[in-house]
Copies of this chain bind each other. A is one copy, B any other.
C-alpha cells in the first residue's frame, strides 16, 4: 500500500512534467478526477479521545464562537474549553471513573452534540453524545466477542393512540435461526427519551449478550416501547400522571403485547413476563404491573415511584391482601440514587410498601437521576428475572 502511494506521487510529478508522454491509462486516471466535496474529506480533529489513564480529550471546531464549554455527567459543572489558532476548542478532563456518560458542548449558550462522535444519546429534545470510559475489567455494557443478539425497529398501528408506534425489540443470540420460545421483558424509558434510548444509552443488548454468555441471565426477548403517550410530562406525584399511566397500560395490553405475541416466539404467561423502566418508565411499569397481576410476575422500578394515593385508588387489591400479592409477585424491585431528585418520594413509596407488608427488593446507590444508574439497575434485575 505504501509502495503504491509512493509510485502514485512519482507518477503525478511525471504527469506534470511530461504531460501526454505518459501512457493513456494513467493520464486518464489522473486528469479528470473530481475533487472530494469538503464534507467527505477527513476531519481535522478526533473527539473524544479516551486516554489509557482515563483522562478524556474533547475537541470541537468552531472558529467564530466566543465561548465553548464542555457539559458532561462526569463533571460537577460545565468547564470552559480553550481555542487554538485553527479555531479548534479542546479540553482534557479526568481521570474519570469507568462508565458510559452523556456529554455535549455548549457553544455560545447552545448545547450541541459532538459532530465527530457517532454515539448519540437518543432523546426528543437535547441530543448529547456518549463517551465510554473503559476500566481494567470490561464493563457489563461493553461490546465483547460473545454471541450477539439483534435489536430491531418495529412499526405497528396503535388503536389506543391512533398513530404508528416505533418500539424496539431485542432478540437473544440464536433467536433468528432457532425455534425456541423465550420469556419477555417490557423495558420502558423515561420522559423525553425515545424507544431507542434503552438501546443506545442503556446498552441493553450488550448487557444481555454478556450476562447470557456468562450464564448470569436467562435468554429473553426485550421489548422497548415508546413510553411517551403525547400527554405532556406530569410529575409522578400529580393526579394527571395516573391518567397518562392508564393510557400507557391500555396501549401495552391492547396493542404492544398482542403485536409482540403475534410476531415473536414468546412464552406468554405471567411467570415469563417482566416489566420495568427508568424515571417515567418506572412509574408506568409499576402501574401496569400492579394493574395486571395476571400478566406480570416480575416488576421493577429504576429511579421512580408511585404515590400511595395512586396505589389506593387504582389497585386496592395490591395492599388489601398482601399475602396474595406476595404470592403472585415473584419480584418487586426498586432502585434509586441518593442524589436523585426523586429520591425522597421513592423512599416514601418504599416505606409505604413496607408498612403494607408488600415484599420487595430495595437498592439504594450513590449518584442521581442518570443513565449510569439506570444501566446499573437494569444489569441487577436482568440477573433476577425468570429464575
Contact = CB atoms under 8 A, between A and B. Distances in A.
A33 B148 contact: no
Interface of A: 1, 4-5, 8, 25, 28-29, 32-34, 36-37, 39-43, 61-66, 107-113, 115-116, 118, 120, 122, 124-127, 143, 145, 148, 150-157, 164, 169, 176-177, 191-192, 194, 199, 205, 232-233, 235, 237-240, 243, 262-264, 307-309, 341-342, 344-345, 348, 369
A115 B127 contact: yes
Given A125-B39, A243-B1, A33 B154 contact: no
Given A33-B237, A108-B108, A116-B125, 12 more contacts: A1-B243, A4-B239, A34-B237, A36-B233, A39-B126, A40-B233, A62-B109, A110-B112, A145-B164, A150-B152, A152-B152, A152-B153
Nearest to A8: B239
Contact of A32 (B41, B164, B237): B237
B151 A152 contact: yes
A176 to B, nearest CB: 4
28 contacts: A5-B240, A32-B345, A32-B348, A33-B235, A34-B344, A34-B345, A41-B233, A42-B233, A61-B110, A64-B108, A64-B110, A65-B108, A65-B109, A108-B108, A110-B112, A112-B113, A113-B127, A115-B126, A115-B127, A118-B194, A120-B127, A143-B155, A148-B155, A148-B156, A150-B154, A150-B155, A151-B152, A155-B205
Nearest to A200: B153
Contacts of A264: 176-177
A4 B235 contact: no
Nearest to A177: B263
B150 A151 contact: no
A369 B37 CA distance: 10
Contacts of A127: 113, 115, 120, 127
Given A154-B148, A240-B4, A263-B177, A341 B64 contact: no
A237 B341 contact: no
A86 to B, nearest CB: 13
Contacts of A191: 36, 40
A159 to B, nearest CB: 12
A156 to B, nearest CB: 7
A62 B106 CA distance: 11
A148 B158 CA distance: 13
Most buried by B among A41, A64, A113: A64
